Amino acid sequence: DAEITQSPRHKITETGRQVTLACHQTWNHNNMFWYRQDLGHGLRLIHYSYGVHDTNKGEVSDGYSVSRSNTEDLPLTLESAASSQTSVYFCASSEVGANTGELFFGEGSRLTVL
Amino acid sequence: SQKIEQNSEALNIQEGKTATLTCNYTNYSPAYLQWYRQDPGRGPVFSLLIRENEKEKRKERLKVTFDTTLKQSLFHITASQPADSATYLCALVMDSNYQLIWGAGTKLIIKP
């Protein structure tokens, strides 16, 4: 079965360190997204990609970067982790032109920045 | 300002009754609206979609309504079961760029 996997599921790091969260999907979807989820907030879009070598900033992109070198992967990098980036991060994908626009989510990566 | 609101307080419902979850929005004109279910420690899972020209959509025990005049969507679960307990998220989809704008979710607890 097709799926979307995130790693690591849990990570603790220190302020100032670089962190990369991996996202790998086998749906063969062109669209991929990174969100963060914090208590009391809806999912907030960090970055998204509509295809290989395409990346776009979302509403909360400061301090984060992504790159898309193939269809399957969209790693999220925190250049210099800050305590405000403690959150649960979700990767999602969707099919281009899908009638429903349904997103398929990974299980999340919980990041703690000390 | 633009905002999307879901009841932040948990909704407690007796098993067998109908649970109704609310999603209100202001200053948006969505092309359609999606509902997702999220279990603790898991990613959201798509449940239902309703378009702006549809008043109601059904799937098994689920029903979604969409009132563009009231700027409100209701998500109903009939004959609720403890297994329906989860957080339910609504998301607006804008026609212009198909980006999703998310509510914070409502936690539903179905008591046996």
Chain B residues near any Cβ of chain A (below 8 Å): 4, 8, 32, 34, 36, 41-46, 49, 89, 91, 93, 98-105
Check residue B98 and give its pLDDT. 67
Q: Is B43–A92 a contact, with Cβ atoms under 8 angstroms apart?
A: yes
Residue B11 has pLDDT above 70, yes or no: yes
Give B110's strand partners: B13
Higher pLDDT, B28 or B48: B48
List the one residue out of A15, A55, A10 whose CA is nearest residue A31.
A55
Check residue B96 and give its pLDDT. 63
Q: Which of A43, A100, A104 to mutate to test the interface with B (most CBs of B within 10 A)?
A: A43
Residue A73 DSSP one-character state:
B
**Nearest chain B Cα distance for residue A33, angstroms:** 10
* Single-letter code of the amino acid located at B25: Y
Give A32's strand partners: A49, A93
Check residue A97 and give its pLDDT. 67
Average of pLDDT values for A8-23?
98
Check residue A98 and give its pLDDT. 62
